[in-house]
Structure 1
Amino acid sequence: MKIAVQRLEKMKDLKKSAEFIFCVALLHGWAAALNCSSPTPESLFKALEESVLSSSKKLIRPVKNFTTPTEVSVHITIVGILGVNEKAQTLTTFLWQILEWDIEGLSWDQRECGARRVSVPREKLWVPDIRIAEFMDEDNSPNTPFVYLDNTGHVYDDRPVRAVTSCHMEIFRFPFDTQKCTLTFGSYLHYASDVRLVLGSTAQEIYDESMGIIRTMGEWDLRDILAQPSTLDVAEGSFSELEFHLVLRRNPTLYVVNLLVPSCFLITVDFFSFLLPPEHVDRSSFKMTLILGYTVFLLMMNDLLPATGENTPLMNVFFSISMALMVASLLETIFITNIKCSSRHHSPVPRWLRTVVLKYLAYIVCLPPKPPSNRVTVMLSPEEHVTVNSKDVQHGPVTNGEPRIYITAATQKTLDTPQSPMKAPPEDPLAPALEELKRLSRDLRAIRTQMDQHLQDGQKKEEWLQIGLVIDRLLFGFYIVYISVSFITIGCFWVNQ
């Protein structure tokens, strides 16, 4: 009803303009009036059949001289945005297309012929071949067989158009993206010297009228309409065109609720899983459950993500990095658990790894390494008994956190000369006790050797665990930075949209 009222008002304005033009034309003598025998429709259509509706006249552009271009006024109204296909890069819209042009030399007297305007079949008149250059599908627009023809020779062609057009889309900021699609109206055959296109109304008027009658937009909002004339230059000449740019903004609520919020929840849960002991087995099972749930979530919501081969949406990058961090945290947990369970089978920590991780990364993540032990180990041969003076002792380099002590060659009792074994007389009653003491000494040395080996393995395990804790703390810091940057980026995109 609103559309009908607006068009009646527009027709009234056109009526006043047409009457003024008709009067001016009669004064200048270039408008040839039709002669109607009576003010009846039959008389008017008979006169029109003889002048412009004949089969031969509709094949010729309605001008007196072919050097005179036919000026076609184009006006559109967006009625609905039916859909956007990111994969096919197409936009489907439903719009009203209004074309207006003049038949040069045609006029009649309203009182003599009984009507100011009449509707005539479209196939009876010459109609400009105005099409949308971005058409990508068969034109399934409703058929409208009639056009208006008024007594000044002005033709008013109003028809609905269902347009499936190509649209280059930038979906990097999906779902906070804004698209700009173009509808280019022009003639397929006639050059600008034959058919010239002009805007029927300003872009602001088109936008205001479209927003007043638009019926459906779905997940897209019509933000603006821009219009400008253009010219397509070819080797043979140039074509007159009109470009209408539709600025569309996606409504991101659906994607935020169904994609971003659940994903952020899962990432946050994995973030707090770092509070569990890293060497605990339950932490690995917990992280594997999260990864499985996140994978199922992405598979279920895959249809909501845009599919295109030109560029990758930022949301897909967010999901990929989130999955990568989950897998990395699981691998790090498995690494620490392996160190705890089978560290004695590992080789000592390489020097470069100890330097990089325990000396530099540990201070970055505020986890300084434990100070080395001050325990001193003296290694002696089981068959030698040496009296060592304190001045003959030299401290060697630290190995696995324990300093070694070496005996100098200048000792008063050299190690090179073995002492003669003690021979107790057979009748000595202390001989059995002495042998027992020797056996006890050998056992103590063996126990000491085993204890030293155990302490070395413990020190090696401690270093590997320290490296695992540093990596765990470093990954925890990456999580903090990633979650903070992601939330800030999403918020900025949403606010700027």
Structure 2
Amino acid sequence: MGEFKGLLIPSLCFLFGVAAVLSELACKDSHSGPTYESLQSVFDKKPFRPATNLSNPTITNISFTLYAVLGVNEKSQILTTFLWLRLYWHHEFLQWDPEKCGGITKISLPVEELWMPDIIVYEFIDEDKSQRCPYIYVNHTGQIRYDRMLRVLSSCNLEIFNFPFDVQKCSLTFGSYMHTIRDVRVSLALPIEQISENSKKYLETSGEWELVKIQGETDILKFGIDEWDIITFWVTIKRRSVLYVVNLIIPSSFLMLVDIMSFYLPPHSVDRASFKMTLILGYTVFLLIMNDLLPSTANGTPLIGIYFSVCLALMVISLLETVIITNVLHHNAMKYRPVPRLVRVLVLGYLARLICYTRPPSQPETPSNNITTADPEKMKNVEVSMVSLPPLASPELQQICRDLGMVRAHIDSLRLQQDLEEEWIHVGYVLDYLLFRVYLVLITLYALVITCMWCIWYNL
């Protein structure tokens, strides 16, 4: 092993010493450009970094143009982009004098025959299947330009809470894979502002995402005692939300508007409860259909999912309110129970004035109307008093009087039942108006908060 090292080190020193002496490629008068033999000697040095002094690092200049945003997979946290990548570096073995080479200042050479810096994207999580350019351009000073198309599947921490008004910021880190900072250094070939402007100019996709800006910074990656020179580009993209507003938010708002307008149906009608149940069923079907459009991750739920859940909960609350009001209007009235004094004072008194509920004017009070608020047991006394007759009356007259008394008692009983029903109806209407206003205030506040949050995020 020691003999091998002893032979290798002098050979490398001799090789780079010859390269330092022969700094220019040979040309012939009958040929334009460097000769094939001189280029072949450079090709033979492909395994070695093209530097006459290995203590000097090879500086690689990097620039790219974001040509397309192909997709964002929120569940897998993957960003798919298409880049036009351009690399520049200096090859100290590829230099010639244009005056001696027929005025040729630039030639193209095959990529496989020359040393290249192993610049990669650190966020790469899949094999690059894009087409590779087979040639590079070299000018007479040894400056090399390499262009290639790059389909990047990179990992990105995607935040979907603001969906569909979310803005994603993903990083693309370029650097050498094997060469440390002593061998390969990276720098920007163009200013960051120009890279961002070129990407906005040539971005061809007009789908779901639009480019906001590109930022970049150089840094040093440390791992143990080794250091790597890297450049990190921060690509900020914003989702175009018109599709989701039209397909999700507007239909949901229409269904909520129909649910609000359903409060104007008569509360004592059974159709109101069935209408709300049908509306909830339709909203559930809508949620199942739009579930495929919503992004899903294990980290959290988007705000629009919470928005739909709250809307469904509000619809269920409105249905429960209808059930309660229906019970007040029908169940208590059918039992001929008078309205308790506490309910009459609290609901028909204070709450009715609070919500500005105006009770319809009552009919002029008659003697028969005096018993409407009495206990139903008093009806028996009324019935007995009406059938009491003088003992000298004929049997036919007594039978007629008894029949008339029974008719009068039945009529008064119906009036009592009607008055009880009307009073319970007023209680139900007051509660219905109160709960409707509370429900409307809750929906309005909720809609304002959601709208303000989305407007702030959309304008960021």
TM-score, normalised relative to structure 2: 0.76
Moved more, 474-483 or 299-308: 474-483
Partners of 2:280 and 2:129 in 1: how far apart?
47
1:169 aligns with one of 141, 155, 158: 158
* Cα distance, 1:131 vs structure 2: 0.8
| C-alpha contact 2:60 2:87 (8 A) present in aligned 1 | yes
Partners of 2:350 and 2:229 in 1: how far apart?
69
Aligned-pair identity in percent equals 40
* Residues 150-161 of structure 1 aligned to structure 2 (within 5 Å): 150-161=139-150
In structure 1, the residue matched to 2:74 is 86
Per-residue deviation, residues 113-149 of structure 1 (Å, max 9, x unmatched): 3432222121211111111111122211112121112
Amino acid at match of 2:99: R
Per-residue deviation, residues 284-315 of structure 1 (Å, max 9, x unmatched): 12212221222222222222222222222221
* Cα distance, 1:37 vs structure 2: 3.5
Partners of 1:355 and 1:239 in 2: how far apart?
81
| C-alpha contact 1:202 1:227 (8 A) present in aligned 2 | no
2:35 aligns with one of 21, 37, 44: 44
Per-residue deviation, residues 186-210 of structure 1 (Å, max 9, x unmatched): 1121212221110111111112222
Partners of 2:184 and 2:342 in 1: how far apart?
79
Partners of 1:377 and 1:86 in 2: how far apart?
69
Partners of 2:349 and 2:222 in 1: how far apart?
69
2:43 aligns with one of 38, 43, 53: 53
Partners of 1:378 and 1:249 in 2: how far apart?
72
In structure 2, the residue matched to 1:104 is 92
In structure 2, the residue matched to 1:62 is 50
* Residues 309-348 of structure 1 aligned to structure 2 (within 5 Å): 309-343=298-332
In structure 2, the residue matched to 1:260 is 249
In structure 2, the residue matched to 1:209 is 198
Per-residue deviation, residues 162-199 of structure 1 (Å, max 9, x unmatched): 11112212222211221111111111212122211101
Amino acid at match of 1:479: L
2:244 is paired with a residue of what secondary structure? helix
Moved more, 336-345 or 295-304: 336-345
Partners of 1:65 and 1:293 in 2: how far apart?
76
Amino acid at match of 1:221: E
In the alignment, structure 1 residue 33 sits paired with structure 2 residue 24: yes
Q: Gaps (5+ residues) in structure 1?
A: 1-28, 383-429
What is the aligned-residue RMSD (CA, Å)?
Answer: 4.0
In the alignment, structure 1 residue 493 sits paired with structure 2 residue 427: no
Larger of the two Rg values belongs to structure: 1
Q: Structure 1 residues 359, 59: CA separation in 2 closer, same or farther (over 3 Å shift)?
A: farther
Q: Structure 1 residues 349, 58: CA separation in 2 closer, same or farther (over 3 Å shift)?
A: farther
In the alignment, structure 1 residue 483 sits paired with structure 2 residue 439: no
Q: How many residues are matched?
A: 412
Partners of 1:461 and 1:276 in 2: how far apart?
18
In the alignment, structure 1 residue 231 sits paired with structure 2 residue 220: yes
| C-alpha contact 1:332 1:468 (8 A) present in aligned 2 | no
1:210 is paired with a residue of what secondary structure? helix
1:303 is paired with a residue of what secondary structure? coil
Q: Gaps (5+ residues) in structure 2?
A: 1-19, 361-370, 381-389
Amino acid at match of 2:197: D
Amino acid at match of 2:28: S
TM-score, normalised relative to structure 1: 0.71
Amino acid at match of 2:235: L
* Cα distance, 1:345 vs structure 2: 6.1
* Residues 326-475 of structure 1 aligned to structure 2 (within 5 Å): 326-343=315-332, 365=355, 466=427, 469-470=430-431, 473-475=434-436
1:142 is paired with a residue of what secondary structure? coil
Per-residue deviation, residues 258-281 of structure 1 (Å, max 9, x unmatched): 111111111111111111121211
Amino acid at match of 2:327: N
Partners of 1:163 and 1:361 in 2: how far apart?
65
* Cα distance, 1:470 vs structure 2: 2.1
